[in-house]
Amino acid sequence: MSMSNKPLGGNGLHRPLADINVTPLVDVMLVLLIVFMVTAPMLAAGLKVDLPQAKTAQPVTPKDPIVVSVTADGTVAVGTDTMQVSELGAALLKLTEGDNSRIIQIRADKAAAYGAIVGVLDELASNGLVHISLISDNRTPPVAAAPAK
């Protein structure tokens, strides 16, 4: 970009160049396009396999999870049926019908004793029910005030 000391008006031969050079932009875009074209096939998980057809195949339907609730006072319930922790394993084995891969969701009150929740987890694990998830609330807690100095 060249500028002279002459005023811009009149018959000045040199004026400032105000065009945008798009060549570097196009170069960068082409390089990014090539990078994405090369890496996109690698993002696919697994190998490409031609699966055989089966006449007797049945579609797999996912089963609803079993919900175990623990209240603030330590009461344990499966659905709406309350029970003792020692009865929990047998009741869940009956509900799962021997399918140990069934997901069990634990919903515990935030004021529930930690020991009560661990007792439920221990009872489930001792009966072979290991697909357990803990359910929480997705609301953000209120911001606590900073302690005064």
44 in a structural domain: no
Query: Count of domains in the chain?
Result: 1
140 in a structural domain: no
42 in a structural domain: no
Alpha helices in the chain (DSSP H): 23-39, 85-96, 114-126
Would you state the pLDDT for residue 12? 63
Band the pLDDT of 15: cuts 50, 70, 90: confident
Angle (CA) 127 128 132, round 5°:
105
Of 40-49, 55-64, 107-116, 120-129, least confident by mean pLDDT is 40-49
Band the pLDDT of 31: cuts 50, 70, 90: very high
CATH classification at residue 105:
3.30.420.270
71 in a structural domain: yes
Q: Within the chain, what is the greatest distance between any pair of CA atoms?
A: 100
**Is the model's pLDDT at 28 over the cut of 80?**
yes
Q: What is the dihedral of CA 119, 80, 131, 108, to 10 degrees?
A: -50
76 in a structural domain: yes
Instruction: Quote the domain boundaries for residue 108.
Output: 66-135
Would you state the pLDDT for residue 65? 84
50 in a structural domain: no
Q: Which residues contact 16 (CB under 8 A, 6 or more apart)?
A: 1, 2, 3, 8
